[in-house]
Amino acid sequence: MSSGSSFGTLYRVTTFGESHCAGVGAIVDGCPPGLNLTEDDLQTQLTRRRPGQSKVNTPRDEKDRVTILSGTENGVTLGTPIGLLVANEDQRPKDYGEMNTIPRPSHADYTYQMKYGVRASSGGGRSSARETIGRVAAGAIAEKWLRETFGVEIVAWVSACGEIEAQNINPETIRREEVDANIIRCPDLAAADTMIQKVTQLRDEGDSIGGVLTCVARNVPAGWGEPVFDKLEAKLAQAMMSIPATKGFEVGTGFAAARMTGSDHNDPFVMKGTRLGTLTNHSGGIQGGISNGEPILFRLAIKPPATISKAQSTADFDGTPQVLAAKGRHDPFVVNRAVPIVETMAALVLMDMALIQQSRVRPGRV
């Protein structure tokens, strides 16, 4: 836990790997036995995450094929730890010559050097987007278990790119197929077109742009989330803010809640079929840190990628002024690639909470 590469209590993932080592991956400890599971179950989200998918992202093309090293037999989980490995195709550290002396502005080159006194030649070490592969694979298992056990559906999409905001997306019904219908993963097609234009233009200028991602988790039963420090929104916030490039997190009304009165913001209770629900969902499906049965809704702010080919005035490690223009081509926009990362990280949080809540149920009481 304490060195930061593990997440979760009962469903616990530990990841490893940098950009140019032999491979990246994870160990999942605590997956319940008896779940049908093969590599194909993980590959879908890994493939959605990988680079080289479209003109709005980096043209690097890596297959990111995952191998399950342990923990299953005959396609069924054994209850033992699941080892997951994705080989790095390009293990030769690139020519990062300049970066060795000039830390990229707003990247992790400088802070890794200050923290460890040594760093990978590829720069920001574990801040690399490749690190997220292990979590996506681990979270894809959690998604499957949540779906099969509780019918939980998690869907994320790009809701803003720069100043362009998507309109009229219904979190109660939106499906992944609609999200994946265009390369920028914004289900508002008109907005998507404008976004793609914007990103393409900035890419051509060697620049990058930020955006907002929205996520919903439907069919989460009431009762998940642990007071006090492990409130559902608190663990979601940690999970989301641990994704590279995130700058903000909000649940339900989020920052808009700051401008509302209690009488406007409160969600009145109302009967929904056989369960008690709420008329509005300003709470985003969480009250007092515990799920209330309504859709869980949250949003993330993602900053523009720091590595740009446009020239920047900055300084090297010695403090000498320098001009830096990153070589090669880089992601001008990452919010669309963050979609599967956010979904699977949400699954990691929810599954852990589900298992903890199950531990309270006395045998025979359910």
For residues 32-91, which are near a copy of itself according to CB under 8 A?
Answer: 32-34, 67-73, 76-83, 85
| DSSP 8-state symbol, 21 | S
CB of 189 to a copy of itself, least distance (A): 20
Tokens 């988790």 -> residue: 217
* Degrees, nearest 5: CA angle 204-210-213: 130
CA distances (Å), origin 339, targets 186, 197, 247, 285: 10, 20, 16, 20
Letters for 254-293 (x = contact with a copy of itself by CB under 8 A, - = none) are: xxxxxxxxxxxxxxxxxx----x-x---xxx-xxxxxxxx
CB of 343 to a copy of itself, least distance (A): 17
CB of 177 to a copy of itself, least distance (A): 25
Nearer to a copy of itself, 6 or 47 (CB): 6
Tokens 């339900």 -> residue: 252
Q: Which residues contact 224 (CB under 8 A, 6 or more apart)?
A: 232, 290, 291, 350, 353, 354, 357
* Degrees, nearest 5: CA angle 73-76-82: 70
Nearer to a copy of itself, 50 or 107 (CB): 107
Of 167-186, binders to a copy of itself (CB under 8 A) are none
3-state secondary structure of 52: coil
Nearer to a copy of itself, 177 or 319 (CB): 319
CB of 311 to a copy of itself, least distance (A): 9
Cα–Cα distance, 192 to 102 (Å, whole number): 36
Exposure string over 110-140, b if 16+ CB within 10 A, otherwise e: bebbeeeeebbebbbbbbbbbbbbbbbbbbb
Nearer to a copy of itself, 50 or 333 (CB): 333
Q: Indicate which single residue of 41, 51, 129, 131 sits in contact with a copy of itself (rule: CB under 8 A).
A: 131
Nearer to a copy of itself, 114 or 175 (CB): 114
CB of 120 to a copy of itself, least distance (A): 5
Q: Which residues contact 250 (CB under 8 A, 6 or more apart)?
A: 298, 299
Q: Indicate which single residue of 155, 166, 191, 234 sits in contact with a copy of itself (rule: CB under 8 A).
A: 234
Q: Indicate which single residue of 154, 186, 196, 209 sits in contact with a copy of itself (rule: CB under 8 A).
A: 209
344 is an interface residue for a copy of itself by CB under 8 A: no
Of 137-166, binders to a copy of itself (CB under 8 A) are 149, 160, 162-163
Letters for 304-333 (x = contact with a copy of itself by CB under 8 A, - = none) are: xxxxx-x-xxxxxx-x-x------------
- Could you give the count of Cα atoms lying within 13 Å of 15 in the half-sphere of its Cβ? 26
Tokens 């989330």 -> residue: 225
